[in-house]
Structure 1
Amino acid sequence: MESLGSSTFAATLVAIFLLSSIVYRTSLDSLHAIPGPLICKLTSLWTYYHSYFGDESTRIDELHKRYGPIVRIAPNEVIISDGAALAPIYVEKGGFSKAPCYANFDIEGHATIFSTQNPEYRSVRSKAVVPLFSMTSIREGQSAIESCVDRFIARLKREAAESRKANRQRPVNVLNLTRSLALDAVSSYLFGRAFGGVDEESDKLSASAFVDTLVAVGRFFFLPNWIFLTLELARQKFWPAKEEEKSAQTVGDFVESLLQGETKGTATYQARLLKAGISEHEVKIQCEDVIFAGTDSTGTSLATICWNLAKRPDVYDRLKNEVAQADMSERNQSPQIIRYLDAVVREGLRIAMPNPARLPRMVPKQGLAYGSSSGKQYFLPGGTQVGMQPYSLHFNPEVYPDPFAFRPERWLDGPTPQMQRDWIPFGMGSRQCIARNLATTELRLAVRAIAKEGALDGAQAVGEKIELMQWFNSKVKGEAIELEWQ
């Protein structure tokens, strides 16, 4: 009987605790007025679950449709889908500081230019390399990128010829080819030496497993750092992957050669960091981070554009015609001023979603006042985690009608201020992607060459849509975006 009484007392205490937590989170705490599911007010498990299984962006977008533009998705986290909130969160006065979870993208214990939350740490490193990302510098070094594009077009044509010969029985994984180009272009321009991915002539780029390993980190991105590190150590100890290790070694050897070769003494990315007093070990890590980011996001975006051009032959034909007309005029040689080319690239970046998930920031001590479109006013106290996700902004039908359709024309028909504001493929503010100019130049040069050379003539897209795992860095399901030729 005494044991039964103790069990009843313990159960009663648990029930009181749970009831008290529910009452506090729903009626008393500082975020209780923010709408959202009960489970999200009580625990972060909902966000961790959907982040791991790769449907978080879709589920959060559904919450916005149900609850409105501001939703509570965890006990201390709020997400907003109203583009008017971009400026106060990410731009004004330098924007809010990054959330602690960005430390999960540190490499070998070193913060990168992307992952660091320390403005001074980032400033030293970004100032050293930022001149390389100016449009003036990129135009001066454009020939290095064009050389990579030429090799990419030649290989794409060879693969297309093999597909035709096989009578559509041999689809071409253009994602592997575009990743190879992206890696070669970023390494050739920034490091002074191409990785050689386009020339590998294999079904899978040797750096892919290295890149995919870091992409997979995104499923755990929002976890507290100590939990993330524990899981990573367990994975490395109990589930080591030889392919990942081999790929990481290939990338590591390439970067080591940069620090030992002639490129060390030139005005390259690595040379600028070394000159700024950064250790060789850290420079190696910063270079590996650039390889990851440059290969994954640009490669996915270009493959998505190719797939959609094959899906929309009318768009492809118009692009070819406008590129041909521009080439007839000397003043239009620059791909940046071919309007339809620019529209194709902008639309591709809108729907490619290389980074679909929320970009979390910490509300400063003075708090954030937010007024929703319904007229309701909310106040987020300092220390609240707040963010916005490109997925909800890029696929908002009120801003982009028929949002899932590939329609470059929308950028020619007088794009609205809201369209311009909510287009954030590279993030926003002082912490937006440092390589955005380089990435867009690569895309414009590659898409222009595809149109000029007719590299997609006769191509057909495989599948009805491109499906993604919606991690912080999205993963294409099946690791393939395929075309076939007839």
Structure 2
Amino acid sequence: MPTFQLILDLCKLLLAAFTLRCVLVYSYRIFLHPLHSYPGPFIAKLTDWYGAYYAIQRRLHVVTYEDHRKYGRVLRQGPNKLVFNSVEALHDIYQNDLLSKASSYLVTQVSPSIFNLFNVIDKRLHRTKRRIIGQGLNERAMRQFEPVMNEQITIFLKQLISCCQEGEPADMSDRCSWLGLDISGELGFGRGFELQTDTKNRWMPKGISTSNYRISVYIQFPALKHIGWEKLFLPIVLPKVLRFHRMVNGMIKARLAEEKHARPDLFSSVSDFKDPETGEGLSRRELWSESTFLIPAGGDTTSTLMAASFFYLSRYPPVYRRLATEIRNTFSAGAEIKSGPKLASCTYLRAVLEEALRITPPSGTTLWRDVPEDANSASPLIIDGHVIPPGTRVGLNIYTLHHNEEYFPEPFKFKPERWLPKENGLSAEETKRMHDAFSPFSIGSRACAGKAMVYLEASLVVAKTVWYFDFECVDEGESPVFQTEDQFGSRHSGPKLKFWLRGDMWKEL
């Protein structure tokens, strides 16, 4: 009995100590913390669980938008986090060499010694990697890769022909995801995953989605990873992870068995390149890490853009008719639809894609940056007029900025003409502000390296689909807004479209 009483007393003492610590910590965060005067949800002032909770629900982008409407253009979203919603903040944060990518991105590392473009924190190392990887993703590399891309797009179009002949609607999120991942596989490893033509690997999109979801939650609350709770799920998750790594390793071995320049992929473009400033190249292990990162990064971005484009084209008939007229008057055959002056002249096509990127950014999350603890107090960091204390984590939510009425009037309405200066009804200054706020690929040195690939792939897919087919939506009763779930990338379904062949054009396929 005395022993039991001693244990009970010890537990009470520990509970009291814990309670006292919570009171002191939370009181400091509410009343004395350098960010205490910034508005925001009360719970967010106490704990990072606020962001993690809504990340778990895949709703953090929507909640951030709603919070900005309630609290203003800057809000406190964690004890040590500020989120902004202005053009000034966009450029002050992401074009500022003083800030570094948030340390929370390190939760995505597979190995402590291997970094890729997404999770590398060191600025010098990032610049080196960016220059090297850029050789495989720039416009010149995309021109060389375009024939391979077109092979996969042709498969996509043939699958739509089958839907026409069978009278079955097509779920464009699935179709675009399979296409995007097959193209990413071709670029990263010299071969696709055959997702469009075979069901054996169609577990991949769901597996990638789960991985992105996990990353999204951890970036909001890194401690969740470090406590090791996910080990409980290893019996469920580990077989899928091992399956993915076996598949990737098989693709790497097959590619290494070929001549280095046998295919116009990343391996061919980058393996011999040395950074002109440092003289460094990528090791084989680093190169395959970058290729593996390209699978979800490239596939997810392009599939979201294409699915959103088809969604809004099917729900805005005037937009659809105008785009169809432009494409069908510009080209005389589907084979002519390729990169070059004719495709570049399709200004309405580009406007449709940019409006889809605006209203449905492929990644609607907040991209966090850290203010160094040793930041020079003699020249304080200023973001949108606010002096930011050292050690603060700052960011801007892309989804929220893209729906800011100050820059995008009627933000939830799909209006491609807003990107056409002669038609948008805005002044030159307002048009410039709108373009300055448009950041689906982020800006600055950390902007997406695959921007050229995304635009080329989406332009070809949408233009060729409009050339060969007419289509309409079969799920009219759903929301007029393309619904996405935020998970460091996005998860979505639909639209379901019914296709018709345009005359005999399809026979050239």
Same fold (TM over 0.5): yes
* SS of corresponding position for 1:35: coil
Q: Following TM superposition, by how much is the alpha carbon of 1:157 offset from its aligned partner in structure 2, in angstroms? A: 2.2
- Within a 5 Å distance, the mapping from 1:408-427 to structure 2 comes to 408-412=416-420, 413-414=423-424, 416-427=431-442
Please give the residue correspondences for 1:152-171 in structure 2 after superposition, counting only pairs within 5 Å.
152-162=156-166, 164=167, 170-171=168-169
Matched, 1:32 2:36: yes
Tell me: CA distance 1:281–1:21, structure 2 relative to 1, closer, same or farther (3 Å).
closer
Deviation at 1:58, TM superposition (A): 1.4
Aligned to 2:471: 457
Work out which of the residue numbers 166, 170, 173 in structure 1 matches 2:171.
173
Contact 2:48 2:220 in 1 (8 A): no
Shift of 1:193: 3.7
TM-score by length of 2: 0.82
CA distance in 2, matches of 1:8, 1:178: 58
Instruction: From 453, 476, 480, give the equivalent of 1:438.
Output: 453
Q: 1:450 to 1:265 in 2, by over 3 A?
A: closer
In 2, distance between residues paired with 1:420 and 1:233? 42
CA shift at 1:35, angstroms?
A: 1.5
> Relative to structure 2, which stretch is displaced further, 127-136 or 205-214?
205-214
Moved more, 347-356 or 437-446: 347-356
Q: Is residue 78 of structure 1 aligned with residue 82 of structure 2?
A: yes
**What does the per-residue CA deviation read over 1:247-284, in whole Å, with 9 as the maximum and x for residues that have no partner?**
55334422332233234676641245543553333332
For residues 269 and 21 of structure 2, the distance between their equivalents in structure 1, rounded to whole angstroms, comes to 56
- Contact 1:258/1:264 (CA < 8 Å) preserved in 2? no
Corresponding letter in the other structure for 2:175: L
Q: Which residue of 2 aligns with 1:402?
A: 410
Alpha-carbon distance, 1:135 to partner:
2.1
CA-based RMSD: 3.2
* Cα deviation code 1:167-189 (max 9, x no counterpart): xxx44222221122222333435
- Partners of 2:406 and 2:93 in 1: how far apart? 22
Equivalent-residue separation in structure 1 for 2:449 and 2:498 (angstroms) = 35
Residues 72 and 79 in structure 1, CA contact (< 8 A), matched pair in contact too? yes
Residue in structure 2 matched with residue 384 of structure 1 by the alignment: 392
Give the one of 182, 185, 195 matched to 1:184.
182
Q: Is the 8 A contact 2:186 2:265 kept in 1?
A: no
Q: Could you tell me which residue of structure 1 aligns to residue 105 of structure 2?
A: 102
Determine if contact 1:311/1:461 at 8 Å carries over to the other structure: no
Q: Secondary structure at the match of 1:457?
A: strand
Separation in 1, partners of 2:146, 2:14: 70
Q: Tell me the SS of whatever aligns to 2:408.
A: coil
The corresponding residue for 1:167 is none
CA contact (8 A) 1:57 1:391 kept: yes
Residue 359 (structure 1) aligned to one of 350, 367, 373 = 367
Show the counterpart of 1:197. 195
SS of corresponding position for 1:334: helix
1:226-237 to structure 2, matched below 5 A, reads 227-231=224-228, 234-235=231-232, 237=234
Indicate the SS of the match to 1:78. strand
- Residues 10 and 146 of structure 1: is their aligned pair in 2 closer, same or farther, counting only changes over 3 Å? closer
Cα gap change, 1:475/1:255 in structure 2, threshold over 3 Å: closer, same or farther?
farther
Q: Secondary structure at the match of 2:474?
A: strand
Partner of 1:483, secondary structure, is strand
- Cα 1:459–1:474 shift into 2, 3 Å: closer
The answer for the alignment partner of 1:286 in structure 2 is 290
**3-state DSSP class of the match of 1:318?**
helix
Higher mean C-alpha deviation, range 439-448 or range 349-358: 349-358
Alignment of 1:320-339 (within 5 A): 320-327=324-331, 333-339=341-347
Q: Which moved more, 1:191-200 or 1:406-415?
A: 191-200
Give the deviation of 1:230 after TM superposition: 4.5
Q: Secondary structure at the match of 1:239?
A: helix
1:151 CA displacement = 2.1
Equivalent residue number for residue 58 of structure 1: 62
Aligned partner of 1:113 among 112, 117, 138: 117
| Post-superposition offset of 1:244 | 5.5
Given that 2:371 and 2:391 are in contact with CA atoms closer than 8 Å, whether structure 1 keeps it comes out as yes
Contact 1:116–1:122 under 8 Å retained in 2:
yes
The 3 A distance-change label for structure 1 pair 7 and 363 is: closer
What displacement does 1:385 show?
0.2
Give the aligned partner of residue 53 of structure 2: 49
Instruction: Spell out, residue by residue over 1:295-326, the C-alpha distance to the aligned partner (whole angstroms, 9 max, x if none).
Output: 11111211111122112222111111011222
1:72 is paired with a residue whose SS is: strand
Does residue 1:467 correspond to 2:488, yes or no?
A: no
The residue type equivalent to 1:86 in the other structure is: L
Cα distance, 1:378 vs structure 2: 3.0
Deviation at 1:86, TM superposition (A): 1.1
Local SS of the residue matching 1:379: strand
Residue correspondence of structure 1 range 470-481 to structure 2 within 5 A: 470-476=486-492, 479-481=493-495
Which residue number corresponds to residue 250 of structure 2? 253
Q: In structure 2, what residue type is equivalent to 1:178?
A: C
User: Which amino acid counterpart does residue 438 of structure 2 have in structure 1?
Assistant: W
Q: Are 2:73 and 2:84, in contact at CA under 8 Å, matched by a contact in 1?
A: yes
CA distance in 1, matches of 2:332, 2:235: 60
Q: Which runs of 5+ in 1 are unaligned?
A: 165-169, 372-376
Change (3 A) 1:12 1:485: same
Contact 1:184–1:194 (Cα < 8 Å) also in 2:
yes
Alignment partners' CA distance in 1, 2:488 and 2:235? 24
Stretches of structure 2 lacking an aligned partner (at least 5 in a row): 275-280, 501-509
Q: Distance in 2 between matches of 1:17 and 1:249?
A: 47
User: Percent of counterpart pairs with the same letter?
Assistant: 24
Query: In the TM superposition, what is the alpha-carbon distance from 1:8 to its structure 2 partner?
Result: 9.3
